[in-house]
Amino acid sequence: MDTLKTNLTKHRQEHLLKYWEELNEEQKRLLTEDIDELNLEEVNEFFERATSSLTEGNEKLDDKMKPVCEDKYLSISRTDEDQLKKYNEEGLKQIAEGRVGVLLMAGGQGTRLGFAHPKGMFNVGLPSNKSLFRIQGERILKLQRLAAELTGKSGRITWYIMTSEHTMIPTRKYFEQNNYFGLKAEDIMMFEQGSLPCYDFEGKILLDEKHRIAKAPDGNGGLYRALRDRGILDDMERRGVLYLHAHSVDNILIKVADPVFIGYCAEQKADCAAKVVEKSHPNEAVGVVCQVDGKYQVVEYSEITQKTAELQKEDGRLVFNAGNICNHFFTTSFLRKIGSTFEKDLKLHVAKKKIPFIDSTGTRCTPDKLNGIKIEKFVFDVFQFAEHFVTVEVPRDEEFSALKNADSAGKDCASTARADIYKLHKRYIETAGGTVNGEECEISPLLSYSGEGLKVIIHGKTLVSPVHLMADEEKVANGDK
What's the confidence (pLDDT) of residue 302?
84
Helix axes 25-37, 2-10, angle to 10 degrees: 40
- In the prediction, which pLDDT does 481 show? 42
- Rounded alpha-carbon distances, angstroms, from residue 369 to 86, 217, 373, 463: 55, 21, 12, 55
- Residues 132 and 444: their CA atoms lie apart, in Å, by 13
Q: What is the mean pLDDT of residues 113-118?
A: 91
Residues ≥6 apart with Cβ < 8 Å to 64 = 292, 293
pLDDT tens-digit map of 192-208: 999 999 999 999 999 99
Which among 148, 140, 149 has a CA at the least distance from the CA of 180? 140
- Please, what's the b/e burial string for 287-306 (b: 16 or more CB within 10 A of its CB; e: otherwise)? bbbbbbeeebbbbebebbee
DSSP class per residue in 18-75:
TTGGG--HHHHHHHHHHHHH--HHHHHHHHHHHHHGGGG-----GGGEEPPPGGGEEE
Q: What is the spatial distance between Cα 428 and Cα 449, in angstroms, rounded to a whole number?
A: 10
Peptide bond into 127 cis (omega under 30): no
Q: Tell me how far apart the alpha carbons of residues 219 and 203 are, in angstroms, rounded to a whole number.
A: 19
The residue type of 360 is S
Is the pTM value of this prediction over 0.75?
A: yes
Eight-state DSSP code of residue 340 = I
Taking 60 as the threshold, does the pLDDT of residue 480 lie above it? no
Percent of the chain past pLDDT 70, that is, above it, reads 98
pLDDT of 52 = 84
Q: Which of 96, 452, 140, 70 is nearest to 263 (CA)?
A: 96
Mean pLDDT of 414-435: 97
Residue 286: strand, helix, or coil: coil
Q: For the chain, what percent of residues have pLDDT higher than 90?
A: 87
Question: Where in 198-260 does DSSP place strands (E)?
Answer: 199-200, 207-209, 212-213, 215-217, 243-248
pLDDT at 387 over 50: yes
Bridge-based pairing state of the strands 389-393 and 272-278: parallel
* Confidence band of 3 (pLDDT split at 50, 70, 90): confident
Mean pLDDT (the chain, rounded): 94
φ/ψ bin of 240: left (φ > 0), alpha (ψ from -120 to 50), beta (otherwise): left
Over residues 122-173, the pLDDT tens digits come to 999 999 999 999 999 999 999 999 999 999 999 999 999 999 988 999 999 9
**Nearest partner of 83 among 307, 264, 265, judged by Cα:** 264
Instruction: Return the pLDDT at 58.
Output: 57
CA–CA gap between residue 448 and residue 454 (Å, rounded): 7
Number of other CB atoms surrounding residue 5 within 10 Å: 13
234-248 pLDDT, tens digit each: 999 999 999 999 999
| Whether the predicted pLDDT of 329 surpasses 70 | yes
Q: Which pLDDT belongs to residue 109?
A: 86
The pLDDT of residue 65: 93
| pLDDT tens digits, 276-324 | 999 999 999 899 999 999 999 999 888 889 999 999 999 899 999 999 9
How much is the pLDDT for 190? 98
